[in-house]
Amino acid sequence: MTEEPVVVLVEDDPNIADLVDMYLRQSGYRVYQATDGEAGLRLVRDRHPKLVILDVGLPGPLDGLDVCRQLRSISDVPIIMLTARDGEVDRVLGLEMGADDYVTKPFSPRELVARVKAILRRTETPRQDLPSVLEVGSCEVDLSRREARVDGEPVVLAAREFDLLAFLAGNRGLALSRRQLLDGVWGPDWIGDERTVDVHVRQLRKKLGEAFPLSTVWGVGYRLD
């Protein structure tokens, strides 16, 4: 019998939490809820989830951005952030801290579940048409282990950051538009700002440094040389 994938949901609004919980359970996930940041971190440490759904506006000393930052220091678990704030700054901050996706309230629970499935599908299924390890300069992209290494040393990447790196590495030498990158990494049904790509590229450049020979192709997008 296949074990149900575990999702940790950190949301202080009981109506939203229970609705999301119900939809996830109906889709075959085991859900553990927390209503504040500290409890959410404990659940992640104890339950080792496949994915975390994290509200930005949590009560107490740790808001969602604080929790995301702390999670990224101990884990590469995929994170979807929920935000009632319509400002671009909050979304960019979440992505820069390592979130893989964001959903703005009010949202469709079905859409959220679809995003959960899409992220887990990409993080758990290595591409079969590529070698298991791709070499890009002094950077190794290990598809089977989902690990990036620079000069043999592992570099901690968020799940979406790794997916973007792997997609670029699998299409070396090609100038790819932001739309092509969104379709290839986030999926053709993803709805959001194309500048999400720029945020993730900035994070990859920051973490991988000169080992990441990515060129900006003005008016088009990016090319991994």
Would you say residue 91 lies in a domain?
yes
Would you say residue 1 lies in a domain?
no
- Which of 124, 159, 178 is the endpoint of a domain? 124
List the CATH number of the domain containing 212: 1.10.10.10
- Which of 91, 124, 157 is the endpoint of a domain? 124
What's the half-sphere exposure (Cβ side, CA atoms, 13 Å) at 17? 17
Query: Do both 118 and 190 map to the same domain?
Result: no
Q: 97: domain range?
A: 6-124
Query: Do both 51 and 140 map to the same domain?
Result: no
Query: Do both 93 and 67 map to the same domain?
Result: yes
Per-residue pLDDT of the chain (225 residues; tens, 9 = 90+): 557 889 999 999 999 999 999 999 999 999 999 999 999 999 999 999 999 999 988 988 999 899 998 998 888 888 998 887 665 666 677 777 778 888 888 888 888 898 888 888 777 655 555 568 888 878 888 888 888 999 888 888 888 889 999 888 888 888 888 888 888 888 776 666 778 888 899 989 889 888 888 888 888 888 888
pTM of the predicted protein model: 0.67
List the CATH number of the domain containing 95: 3.40.50.2300
The domain total for the chain is 2
Query: Do both 103 and 142 map to the same domain?
Result: no
Query: Do both 117 and 137 map to the same domain?
Result: no
Would you say residue 192 lies in a domain?
yes
- Which of 81, 103, 124 is the endpoint of a domain? 124
